[in-house]
Amino acid sequence: MKPLSVTRAVYAVLDDLPEGRISGRELQYMVTLRLENKDPYHSSVLEKARDYADITGATFECVDGKRSIYNFRPGFRLGDTKIGGRE
């Protein structure tokens, strides 16, 4: 099976995440587990999370910049949808 890209890993985590608050570090850790311990940059994970929110209509907004805490409210799920472009 082809390994997940960082983009797909972030999208998969956010597809399964319930509404609530999450820290950027928690999100990065969850993505790292999906990538089988390939550790993506914190900033890359947050960038992909913002992209996911734009695509799905979800809310991913920073509520505490010093502690990197985000409020997440799901939109529609992507699942295995082909989103186009290179990943």
Model pTM?
Answer: 0.86
Q: Please tell me the CATH code under which domain 6-73 is placed.
A: 1.10.10
Q: Please say whether the beta carbons of 77 and 14 come within 8 A.
A: no
What pLDDT, on the 0 to 100 scale, is given for residue 48? 96
Asked whether residue 87 carries a pLDDT value surpassing 70, the answer given is no
Q: Is the pLDDT of residue 78 over 90?
A: no
Neighbours of 78 (CB within 10 A): 16
Q: How far apart are CA 76 and CA 4, in angstroms?
A: 21
pLDDT tens-place string over residues 27-77: 999 999 999 878 899 999 999 999 999 999 999 999 999 999 999 999 888
Render pLDDT for 3-22 as a digit per residue (tens, 0 to 9).
Answer: 789 999 999 999 999 999 99
